[in-house]
Amino acid sequence: MTIKRTILAMLLVFAPCLNHAQTVTSFDGIAASQVAQPGLDIDPNGAVGTKQYMEWVNVYYQAYDKTTLAKVWSSPQNGDTPWQNSGMSNCFGAGGGDGLIKFDRLASRWVIARRAFPGPNSYYYCVAISSTDDLASPTLSWFTYQFALNSVLGSNSRGNVYWPDWPKLGVWSDAYYASFDLEDVDNSYQQIGVVACALDRTNMIKGAAARAMQCFSDPSPIPLNGALYLAHSLIPADLEGATAPPAGRHEYFLSIQNPPDDGVTTTSNKLNLWNFHVNWTTPSLSTFKKSTISVASYTPACYDLTLPSNTFCVNEPSSTTTGWFLDSVGDRLMPRLAYRNFGTYQSFLISHTVQVVAGTNQQTGIRWYELRGSASPTLFQSGTVTNGNTLYRFMPSIAQDKVGNAAVGYSVSSNSVHPGIRAAYWSLVPKTAPTEIQLKAGVGDEENSGHWGDYTSMTVDPSDDCTFWHVNQYYAVNEIGSSINWNTRIAHFKVSTCQ
């Protein structure tokens, strides 16, 4: 071997050391023992702001000082609190699950959004905007809004309104953009379409009256008794970094295109791209257009030919005894669709869980995509995080720092590894191989249910635009019988090339 080739080989061997993560700092977030009525399906998510990290689990929230890690409130706050304090009766005591926490970088304000159903066939989307970026401030208050959804959801032939499931929210400069899956309550909650809405961010961040939502559906109109919809769970682009999208930049959503429900096909090679242009002055000029993007072929995680909606296949050590397998939620893309404007180019990142081993072994890994473009974005690059072992990796959330490092946080589990939390990071410019790090080792199994949180979140600290923050769930002891004893863990780290 020549000296030149020897040096090259040494560089390749030690290349991972040139781009290593700093020390991981992690601490426990909300636990089931801290809340009055813990549920099984907790959907842990959160965001990092200028002074605190704020976390949501169904249906409570808590915040932590970024430096001292001290709790802002002595105990987690009931998710109804902002709306109850303002007297908005449709948004408290009304089943407030599927909550999301956002930090609006452009306004330096916190956003809480959640669904509510105050009565039969009655649905609302509830949004609260903080008056300050400091959740510990004695002057903290919330601008609260309740948006009636019935008129945009549609109803089936029995007159029952479609269930607005899995709502997601994206922060953009001209609006907050929300998406909802539509499910038929009289047909085993089958997916039959989607709705996407623009909310009046301009007035909401000032506490002024919000203009009416602008919403579109697909199919349009929503059928009375729709067929199984394979393009569900739209993820709206969510701003990262301090640079706003260019003036007039449209909002984009991405969704999976599941394989056709034909009892034969198990793979897809498409994503759906949705272009939402809102015109607040002349709403009739607003548009919502769908196109497709070709990607490398994938099998959605845990894909079941006989029942595509069955996404439960992730092993725990106890699975062979209990018969419970964790839900991969592999039939959809996972939030966030992280958008960053670098000036010379614009980047969108998203991830989802795919099957990585052919045949009966349904081992799962993390597929990610980067889209770029100043007009309609197109696929720029993609990859899969597997590390080539028997671990199931699932429930990802991805983000990107200011120098183009990507990081994705996710759950891991196997027949010999308790459910835990890991992350992987790599450079997008140029593309490097992912390096995996452990955020929290699992200690126990969820032995009484297969419901894992339906999503998590990875966000980037606005203070340095480098530090990644991730929240996820784990078990310190086995959850058995009727007990509910989950824990959450919040971790942060940064890649050494981002200073």
Which domains are present in the chain? Answer: 25-302+445-493 (2.115.10)
pLDDT of residue 64: 99
Q: What is the mean pLDDT of residues 257-280?
A: 97
pLDDT band at 13 (very low <50, low <70, confident <90, very high): very low
pLDDT band at 11 (very low <50, low <70, confident <90, very high): very low
Note every long-range contact of 311-316, with CB atoms under 8 Å and residues 24 or more positions apart, other chains counting.
312/450, 313/362, 313/364, 314/364, 314/392, 314/394, 314/413, 314/452, 315/392, 315/413, 315/414, 315/415, 316/413, 316/414, 316/415, 316/418, 316/419, 316/445, 316/446, 316/447
Which tokens sit at 113?
């959004």
Higher pLDDT, 43 or 7: 43
In percent, the amount of the chain with pLDDT more than 70 equals 96
Would the pLDDT of 318 be above 90? yes
**What distance separates the 2 farthest-apart alpha carbons in the chain?**
78
- Least confident range of 19-28, 290-299, 309-318, 321-330: 19-28
Could you tell me if 45 and 56 are in contact, meaning their C-beta atoms sit under 8 angstroms apart?
A: yes
For the entire predicted model, the pTM comes to 0.95
Would the pLDDT of 4 be above 80? no
CA dihedral 490, 107, 243, 252 (to 10 degrees): 80
pLDDT band at 47 (very low <50, low <70, confident <90, very high): very high
pLDDT band at 19 (very low <50, low <70, confident <90, very high): low
Would the pLDDT of 16 be above 80? no
pLDDT of residue 20: 64
pLDDT of residue 358: 76
Would the pLDDT of 67 be above 70? yes
Query: In this predicted model, what pLDDT tens digit does every residue of 386-439 receive, in sequence order?
Result: 987 789 999 999 999 999 999 999 999 999 999 999 999 999 999 999 999 999
pLDDT band at 305 (very low <50, low <70, confident <90, very high): very high
Which tokens sit at 337?
């669709």
pLDDT of residue 5: 30
Instruction: Provide the edge-to-edge strand list for the sheet that holds 176-184.
Output: 163-171, 176-184, 190-199, 214-218
Would the pLDDT of 18 be above 80? no
Would the pLDDT of 238 be above 50? yes
pLDDT of residue 201: 98
pLDDT of residue 364: 97
Q: Three-state DSSP class for 285? A: helix
Would the pLDDT of 218 be above 50? yes
Q: What is the mean pLDDT of residues 110-132?
A: 97
Report the distance separating Cα 478 and Cα 324, nearest Å.
Answer: 13
Q: What is the mean pLDDT of residues 8-30?
A: 61
Would the pLDDT of 139 be above 60? yes
DSSP secondary structure, 342-403, as one string: -SS-EEEEEEEEEE-S-SS---EEEEEEEEE-SSS-EEEEEEEE-TTSS-EEEEEEEEE-TT
Query: In this predicted model, what pLDDT tens digit does every residue of 320-336 receive, in sequence order?
Result: 999 999 999 999 999 99
Would the pLDDT of 241 be above 50? yes
Report the distance separating Cα 375 and Cα 395, nearest Å.
Answer: 30
Higher pLDDT, 46 or 12: 46
Burial class (CB in 10 A: 0-12, 13-18, 19+), 240: buried
Q: What is the mean pLDDT of residues 1-29?
A: 53
Query: In this predicted model, what pLDDT tens digit does every residue of 344-377 receive, in sequence order?
Result: 999 999 999 999 987 777 999 999 999 999 999 9
pLDDT band at 93 (very low <50, low <70, confident <90, very high): confident
Residue of 46, 32, 21 whose CA lies nearest to 397: 46
Report the distance separating Cα 275 and Cα 289, nearest Å.
Answer: 5
Name the average pLDDT for the chain.
94
Residue of 120, 135, 14, 150 whose CA lies nearest to 66: 135
Higher pLDDT, 69 or 18: 69
